[in-house]
Amino acid sequence: MARYGMVIDETKCVGCYACRVACQNLNHLRENEAYNFLEEREYGKFPNFHRVFLPVQCQHCDNPPCVSVCPTGASYKRKDGIVLVNEKDCIGCKYCIAACPYNVRIIKKEGYIEKCRFCLEFVEQGGQPACVTTCMTGVRMFGDLDDPNSEISRYVAQNVHLLKTYKEEFDTRPRIFYKKV
């Protein structure tokens, strides 16, 4: 069984927002909606400062708060680790929006909650999510964490001391690993 995960190399991100636009195009989102966003942060004081972009999207947690709080069981986690919302069961109570530490869920105008699905329709056919393929600096890396020969597995094995998960305090155990600045 595949166990999908992603590595985001924060040091490479230049803040061009191509991933966001690609995601919006693919998922037919309006301009103010997106499944991923960049958290922009500035450190220091001129002239010694730097600015970082942290690409944030659904972390596909192994211990997802959105799944445990969902009152109808519409939020669920697949065996391959992708967290999804079953739009038929979603009643739009918005409790999962309140429970998500990453603030990545949006309300669709059809009345259900949606978020990054790791571009399931591409991944199931052996492809890559749109935010990965569109990135010009190769910030994101997507693959199967269970396959020891996959690019992402080798990368994680080599850089394990540099990788962190986002907002570890919540014990959500994300599937997205960040290489921090």
Partner 1 sequence: MEGTHFVFWNWTIAVYLFVAGVSAGAFAISVLAYFIGEEKYEDIARIGAYIAPFPLIIGLVFLIYDLERPFTFWKLLVTVQINSVMSLGAWLLLVFSILSFLNFYFWLPDRIDLAEFIREKLKNRDKPAVLCRIRDSRFLESMTRPHLKRFRPLLGLIGMPVALFVGIYTGVLLGVLSPRPFWNNPMLPMLFLVSALKTGTASVCFIGCFIMGMKGMSREKVETNKFVIHSVDFFLMILSMITIILFIFGLYTVSRNSAEAAKLIMGGEYTFLFWGFAVVVGILVPFCLEIYELFPHFVDHTALREHNPWISGVTTAAVLVGGFVLRYVIVYAGQATLYITS
Q: Which residues bind partner 1 (CB under 8 A)?
A: 32-34, 37-39, 56, 65, 68-73, 89-95, 97-101, 103-104, 106-107, 111-113, 166-167, 169-170
Nearer to partner 1, 8 or 90 (CB): 90
Torsion on CA atoms 8, 137, 33, 119, rounded to nearest 10 = -60
Smallest gap, in angstroms, from Cβ of residue 136 to partner 1?
A: 21
Judged by beta carbon, residue 24 or residue 134, the one nearer partner 1 is: 24
Query: Shortest Cβ distance from residue 130 to partner 1 (Å)?
Result: 17
Q: How far is the CB of 18 from partner 1 (least distance, A)?
A: 15
CA nearest to 5, candidates 57, 51, 45: 57
The label of the residue with tokens 């997802």 reads 64
If the CB atoms of residues 37 and 142 are measured against partner 1, the closer one turns out to be 37
CA distance 66 to 57: 14
* Closer residue to partner 1 (CB): 32 or 48: 32
C-alpha to C-alpha distance for 163 and 181, rounded to whole angstroms = 10
Note the residue count of the chain.
181
- Residue 170 carries which DSSP code? G
